[in-house]
Chain A
Amino acid sequence: MAGKVLEIRAMSASSTPAPGIRSAPVVAKLIDTSACIGCKACEVACQEWNDLPPETTVQIGTYQTMPDTTPSFWNLIKFNEHETDDGAFHWLLRKDQCMHCADPGCLKACPAPGAIVQYNNGIVDFQQDNCIGCGYCIAGCPFNVPKMSRQTKKVYKCTLCVDRVSVGLEPACIKACPTNCLTFGTKEVLLQKAKSRVAQLQTAGFLDAAVYDPPGVSGTGVVSILAFGKNPEAYGLPKDPSVSFAVEIWKGPLKWIGNIAIVGGIIGTFVHYLRFGPKHVPEDDKAKQADAGR
């Protein structure tokens, strides 16, 4: 039922264009990292809503739950310590999760038809039923998001709670967030909000405050406000992420060159056969004669 609500804008390994023609408002999540208190409500809200099993963790010398997201833990608050030049200490807290890129590298890299889809509201979703577990999406992602389960050999990540969004609800993490660090809405509206918040941060002395909506992936469905916007690395974010050149070549020119080469090769041999045919081995005696003749 819910599937009818969302049409597909892009689909992995699709030999034909995706079927969606209806437009839908592009939804987005705004993360105001300057308002994050690292309470981790979003972490468990995500797990609880998605009925994901708890991970076994150990204390690793920080408040961070674990080093990285996992197949059953899609949303991790990263605790980065940062000292500015004036010696002021900052705890930079960032929600690490799928960015729902407008131009998703994972979808581009995925060879399994329909394993990764992008709905017309912008959500990039993995369909584990169609996933073949090749891990190409891991290579395709500039943000280190998809994680493969050792048990199921399928890749998992944040779905932006597409089950909730498709019936008109906000994602679980958004609802849980106590400080309004997370906001859900259409991307258009959220970008406006982000702009005014950045201005407010700049007035408050964070002159580099900026919106992180990297153009390298045509913008993301998960937009962050960074107080130290010139230094996304301090938050553990890539400075200028894009789908890797290697993936672009591989899924772009190389694909066409390869296809042409293969088809060309087959046609070429066929034409060669038509033109030249097989080699005929001379009769043995004739060969002998020739030998003798020398």
Chain B
Amino acid sequence: MTNGWTDIANADVVLAMGGNPAENHPVGFRFAMEAKRNRNAKLVVVDPRYQRTAAVSDKFVQIRAGSDVAFLGGLINYALTHNRIQEDYVKLYTNATFLVKEGYAFDETTGLFSGWDKDKKAYTDKSTWAYDIDPKTGFANVDETMQDPRCVFQLMKKFYARYTPAMVSSICGCSPQDLEKAAEIVTSTYLPNKVGTIMYALGWTHHSFSVQLIHAAAMLQLLLGNIGMPGGGLNALRGHSNIQGGTDCGMAYHNICGYIAIQKADQAKFEDYLNAVRPKPLRPGVMNFMANYDRFVVSQYKAYYGKNATQENDFGFNLHPKLPVGAAPGTYQNWSWAYMFDHMYEGQMDGLFSFGMNPVCNGPHSRKAIAALSKLKWLVVAENFETETAAFWSERVLWLNGGKPEDVKTEVFLLPAANFAEKDGSFTNSARWIAWKYKALDPPGDAKPDQEIIARIFLKVRELYQKEGGKYPDPVLALNWWYTSPNKPALEEVAKEINGWAITDVMDEKDPKVVAVKAGDQLGKFLDARADGSTLSGNWLYIGSYTQAGNLTQRRNGADPSGLGRYSEWAFNWPANRRVMYNRCSADATGQPWDPTRADIKWNGNKWIGDVPDYKPDSPPEAGMGAFIMNPEGVARLFVPGQFVEGPWTEHYEPMESPVQNPLHPDGQSSNPAAKPFKTQWDKLGKPDEYPIVATTYRLTEHFHYWTKNNPYNLQEQPEFFVEIPEELAAEKGIKSTQYVRVTSARGSIVGKAMVTRRIKPMTIAGKKVYQIGMPIHWGFFGAGDQEGSIANLVTHSVVDPNSFAPEYKGFLVKLEKA
């Protein structure tokens, strides 16, 4: 989230799209309801189904699963053609004024950008997706009037002109009037004193074009001047209690803690790596905060390797593993989830640790996951309950793939783990609030907290290396395992380390005679970290969370003098306890708020007051530092110069399995040109003639993922798997509610009760009648009551978005029959 849950109450318009907050985040959704109640805010819901959020909406539009980009394109086009954009904001805070490099082009017939290699079927040259750079200064050229045909704004207008209401209707299946009505409400926030927010979740991220989809939403919000405003922003709701903290803390193959890209094998020298993570400024005067990343990398190494990270060994640059290069030049190996399971299936892996994960259920394509796990030599699962993954070798699960337990040679350890109530520590919610929780009781029986499991495994391996030696034992032995109780590190100590402290006295950068942070003191702010090895910090983003003032994640001051739901002294909000990100945009060029009733920050002549500014606190507005301090441009990117693999703009591409050819370019590229299916025997994609129905998967409010199937109360609320089927389709197939139906995709099939409903309507897509059905996840083989193995992911495929590598759970093809 750019903003926060409590901040949503400040919105005038809430667009819930690609998410079903009332269903999946009911308590967070209360702020949307507050906005409705207290500000008469309008709630617009765009979704494949009329669902719980739609039940309280002011405008609901049904679209086909997988057509969200077209709808957003329609909204962008509406804003641009009806001149419903906040022009001053766009000029100040986006790259709309930037000139684009000569050579950049988009072919409307093929649906491809410049740089496409027809033979290799790939973008081999992305060099034209760039700004027009002044060779002398290295800065991008701009046209403040936005009239230059090569400026981002003009190119954008032209690009999205194709997303007419008629075209959107033909792609999404909604009426043109529906689009226009929704657009009228959503774009009403273009006025400086009107703010709209977007709440999205996995309905946007589960596509083969998910990153671009979110880019489109960001473009819309930037055009309307909603980013950085209280009540605005682009808010990812996120699905797990600490999925935010997990990504913050580096649980991803491609970055280390704090979203710093992982070191690559071809970065031979430490300097190469640091240069790769520290971009050069693209405009004069910008802050370009990422230039500080050397401090954070070195501090992170110091946290890892302690005394063994020295200036001489580049602070342990070679102790840390590097991402190996890939087969194709200029690429790197991909170990993201779906790729990991593909590699596992190909026999490239020996072992897997799973801490509370259940890939047989939660990963794409359950049968492929089971086949992949069967190739492992060993599997370690730490869990609260027996899961389908832990027992994937049992006959109960294995029948899905037709195997026998004796053929599965995987050695499996199922370790009983403590749950949330049985240990302390902090969770970071989607509003980036890091909040401490306390232990209420001991785990049952022999169950152990995860820190003990991790520590004991690591220390045992270290012991083995100490005793018998082995391959490259250096990092194992060098790791700084300083905890008072090494076998069971106290999480308070870990929290201290994540924030970091000064190892030796840290001198003030302006006045080197003044000690900024005393040796042994906790770091208080980002720039307390040093690249010279005098500080350590496990995760720079969390600096400020555990300072000399104590563990700030434990703060419980509910005061909100701002009246904007900021709660600045409740827990700790990364970054730097800033509640609204990009809040410099909430004020105009002179530093005065666009809307005085919703002032997040304000220039008082000497400094910025209000929320923690997302800006240099004492840099006057006229200095023009750039509101987006993390971007080397200093502004937000409407046009993305090369960071994404499928183009600088968001174009509508059909899902990998689609009932129609892309109506935008029927003779050109239909699906995402950069998304590539895997090649194993499991990875089949269906064709619309055999699988004519669009299917989507989702959660229900009564269950949490695959956990609550162990809880009798939750099972009572939603006892069994079902398939939501439009009335018309059911009539066509002679299906009645509660009869069993079989849903089959090219990957497998699944049986469940039919829920015949008026809440999903048939659609006309590109002149063709298309039905869509929906299936909730949540059930499996293990749990309270009778579980029948109705795992929705038995029918999903594992093609992933080429930027984020998230699988396409929404909008795939199936056929439906009576069971």
Contacts and interface: CB of A to CB of B under 8 A. Distances in A.
Query: Taking the complex as a whole, does A directly touch B, i.e. does some CB pair lie under 8 Å apart?
Result: yes
Contacts of A93: 55
A1 to B, nearest CB: 27
B446 interface: no
A34 B56 contact: yes
A38 B716 contact: no
B719 A54 contact: no
Contact of A57 (B55, B56, B719, B737): B719
Interface stretch (B33-41, B101-109, B654-662): B33-41
B27 interface: yes
Interface stretch (B75-83, B158-166, B570-578, B753-761): B753-761
A58 interface: yes
A167 B40 CA distance: 36
A43 B758 contact: no
Contacts of A81: 758-759
B342 to A, nearest CB: 35
Interface stretch (A59-67, A98-106, A116-124): A59-67
Contacts of B714: 44
B717 A180 contact: no
Contacts of B738: 59-61
A62 B56 contact: no
Contacts of B29: 37, 178-179
A58 to B, nearest CB: 6
Interface stretch (B46-54, B234-242, B333-341): B46-54
Contacts of B30: 178-180
Interface string B702-718: 10000000001111111
Contacts of A56: 716, 719, 785
Interface in A50-77: 54-62, 65
B22 interface: yes
Interface residues of B, number: 41
A48 B711 CA distance: 12
A62 B54 contact: no
Contact of B52 (A37, A44, A62): A37
Contact of A61 (B34, B716, B737): B737
Interface residues of A, number: 36
B715 A91 contact: no
Contact of A35 (B37, B712, B722): B37
Interface in B9-33: 22-23, 26-27, 29-30, 33
Contacts of A47: 713
A57 to B, nearest CB: 5
A223 to B, nearest CB: 17
A89 B50 contact: yes
B720 interface: yes
Nearest to B761: A89
Nearest to A61: B737
A174 B54 CA distance: 23
A100 to B, nearest CB: 25
B124 to A, nearest CB: 49
Contact of B755 (A35, A62, A180): A62
Interface string B511-529: 0000000000000000000
A40 B719 CA distance: 14
Contacts of A179: 22, 26, 29-30, 33, 56
B701 interface: yes
B55 A90 contact: yes
A65 B701 CA distance: 12
A59 B755 contact: yes
A181 B29 CA distance: 12
B58 interface: yes
A60 B757 CA distance: 12
B726 to A, nearest CB: 12
A4 B26 CA distance: 38
A89 B33 contact: no
Contacts of B54: 91
29 contacts: A36-B56, A37-B22, A37-B55, A37-B56, A37-B701, A38-B55, A39-B52, A40-B701, A40-B702, A40-B717, A47-B713, A54-B715, A56-B719, A57-B716, A57-B717, A58-B720, A59-B722, A61-B738, A61-B753, A61-B754, A62-B755, A89-B758, A91-B52, A91-B759, A178-B30, A179-B26, A179-B33, A200-B37, A200-B40
Given A59-B721, A179-B30, 14 more contacts: A37-B22, A37-B23, A40-B702, A41-B26, A44-B714, A58-B719, A59-B718, A59-B719, A60-B738, A65-B716, A89-B759, A93-B55, A178-B27, A180-B37
